A and B are shown apart, each in its own frame.
Chain A
């Protein structure tokens, strides 16, 4: 007892140690850079890894690298693949971060970024945008126009996701409180109504069904620098404001009342977290459609690997979510351009099951 006491007063490791943080985040950053270079280098037109790295270093970091590559290669790398890979990274990082936040906030392992209505609202908005030329012929011209470089579809998806969650939150509010279970159930109910609207529009969609289906599966084929310019600042702001809230998310894991006993203004914090995570999700969905699986599974995988402390979990989820989706999109491109959502589900889900079983065996082994 005395020895333990002396050891404790001397030095106490609270939370992740500096080296662990450095390994996880440094490793995550390295994986991200490698994933980026590989995903940019590989494609239907081969550009060597060395040339790809040189082009990226030259154009992104302004390094004085002598030009040994063709103009065509630079165009393919910089104008076509790089925006797509960066979009994949933003989307993957944003979804994984939002998923981590919602799982903690709702204290529900089944939670993903879409769970309280973002996906249904964004889908209805996007599909209304895709259908607008058919529904209202006068809009046929307007559908091709853009707002701040964004198509009508993106704007409506963004507004639909954000608006739906605002509605769900307002409806869930009783006596100044928003119970987590009510939020989940209201989100489910409102999503069901909106899904009926989506189904109705799809029923009347005619030859647009393919485009609608592609959007619902999620795809990065329409990635453009302009979309990135819209999404990157919104994600940077919401991401930063979420990452610095790690302490509050940890407290919320204890439950509302214990968290308030530890100084958290619980209702205000739940609102802030919901809105920030929804802002990130709606932004991502606007430029990529509803890509599934990443936001549900990356948080779980990371929790298994590095533990539940949000100090490390939030930044790690951004890094690894970004790498995962960049590589999954590479797979989607190599598979002949199928929607990336199919790849994430097809490869990721079995892998996830494998890890779950393995971790269960491990914990059983530790007890025995």
Chain B
């Protein structure tokens, strides 16, 4: 908001430790001391194996999980000090799975994204209507507005979810495997749309991705989690080496260079 803090991080995790209670009574630590700061307008891909803590980190950034130790701050203020609606006006989440209720149109669902901004008891404001229309456009979902959510294909559904998140007009967009279940064309379409949005709206994006090559093409910064700790953080082209992939994912890969000189990782199959 204020230009004076342009260099200060938008969100930052410091010494973040998060665990889940175990049935046996103890706690299973998932994040074991994570330091991660995102500056305004940054586009970051979050990588790691299943169970490495990616989703947990997103949920901690969303304020859904509370730290056992350390802190997550938004604009320098601990997330716990923000009210739920205030947080929802700044941070939007695209979850990995979302059971959409039956019978609502896409426009109605996207309008739910305006809930944290609601000011009138029953009506929406002109500002709400504008934000919904803009979100539908930006998410490439305007043609879906009158369709019912249960009739959508996987790709259309994902566009709907992006539009819902955009209607919140957030500063930070947290995406948990946004390309899951999408075919190649839709993966490219969605990630291109997100890059465009970040350019147009200055949104900060943290996205969990599985495909390393896709991540490298998508984001100028990659963060790799392993066992609840960050093991690499930087330019994808520099950090995503065959050595790191072998170490973190336990998979041997070959590397090649694309025509633009970017590193490309190729899986080795028996």
Contact = CB atoms under 8 A, between A and B. Distances in A.
Contacts of B104: 307-309
B132 A258 contact: no
Contact of B129 (A12, A246, A251, A264): A12
A9 interface: yes
Given A263-B85, A307-B103, A308-B104, A257 B143 contact: no
A247 B114 CA distance: 10
B54 to A, nearest CB: 16
Category for how many chain A residues contact B: 20 to 34
Given A14-B108, A309-B108, A260 B113 contact: no
Nearest to A248: B115
Interface stretch (B7-15, B116-124, B214-222, B261-269): B116-124
Given A8-B133, A15-B108, A254-B112, A263 B98 contact: no
Interface in B1-40: 21
A263 B142 contact: no
A326 to B, nearest CB: 27
Interface in B91-114: 91-93, 95, 98-104, 107-108, 110-113
B118 A255 contact: no
A175 B65 CA distance: 13
Contact of A14 (B83, B84, B111, B143): B111
Interface residues of B, number: 45
A223 B259 CA distance: 85
A255 B91 CA distance: 18
Contacts of A265: 83-84
B28 to A, nearest CB: 15
Q: Which of B85, B87, B115 has the most CB of A within 10 A?
A: B115
Contact of B112 (A244, A251, A257): A251
B98 A12 contact: no
Contacts of A311: 122
A309 B91 CA distance: 25
A-B pairs with lowest CB-CB distance, top 8: A263-B88, A263-B116, A263-B85, A253-B101, A308-B103, A8-B142, A14-B111, A261-B93
Interface of B: 21, 59, 62, 64, 83-89, 91-93, 95, 98-104, 107-108, 110-113, 115-116, 118, 121-122, 124, 128-129, 132-134, 136-137, 142-143, 145, 168
Interface of A: 1, 4-5, 7-9, 12-15, 175, 244, 246-247, 250-251, 253-255, 257-258, 260-265, 303, 307-309, 311
28 contacts: A1-B142, A1-B143, A5-B137, A7-B142, A8-B136, A8-B145, A9-B133, A14-B108, A14-B110, A14-B128, A14-B132, A15-B111, A244-B121, A244-B122, A246-B122, A250-B101, A250-B112, A255-B99, A258-B95, A261-B64, A261-B91, A261-B93, A263-B84, A263-B85, A264-B115, A265-B84, A307-B104, A311-B122
